[in-house]
Structure 1
Amino acid sequence: MEYIADRITIDPDLCNGKPTIRGIRITVQTVLGYLSAADSKEDILEAYPSLEPEDIDACLKFAAKLMEKHYDICQTA
């Protein structure tokens, strides 16, 4: 299991290798989905009591780090 920023884990045997929070079965994608639907941190923490506020912050930082990658955009006619 690989730990990223002490909160985000990637384990090929857990949730099909998707990044999860502290090795529990809650994916970063799930948290980001809630945030993109305008749910508050409090809403997410209520839905997932095993999460901590720092977990949500770690998800946002993880997503921001992914966006630092350079993407070549190819257009085809």
Structure 2
Amino acid sequence: MDPAIMGGKPCIKGTRVTVGTILGLITSGTTPTEIIQLYPYLSKDDVTAALGYATWRSEEREVTLATTCEGSAT
């Protein structure tokens, strides 16, 4: 991710193709082979990496850290 490329959205390295674009295509029924035909500079490994990244992100959890203020009454 680079804030200067595609607004910081995760992209396939060296391209302006976002992970979201690939996921959207797959969701609409486009096969990896068809995606590569649409974007010939991508490889099957790129499509697989996008799916892996999306899977990893879906499993992340946000953890809220408790903060304390010194001198405050509780």
Normalising by structure 1, we get a TM-score of 0.76
What does the per-residue CA deviation read over 1:55-77, in whole Å, with 9 as the maximum and x for residues that have no partner? 00001100100111237xxxxxx
1:36-66 Cα distance to aligned partner (Å, 9 max, x none): 0111011100000010000000011001001
Give the CA RMSD over aligned residues. 1.1
Q: Secondary structure at the match of 1:67?
A: helix
| Residues matched between the structures, number | 62
Question: Which structure has the greater CA radius of gyration?
Answer: 2
Identity %: 35
Corresponding residue for residue 31 of structure 1: 22
Correspondence 1:11 to 2:10: no
SS at match of 2:59: coil
Unaligned runs of 5+ residues in structure 2 are: 63-74
Report what 1:55 is aligned to.
Answer: 46
Normalising by structure 2, we get a TM-score of 0.79
- Could you say which structure has the higher strand fraction? 1
Question: Which one has a larger percent helix, Structure 1 or Structure 2?
Answer: 2
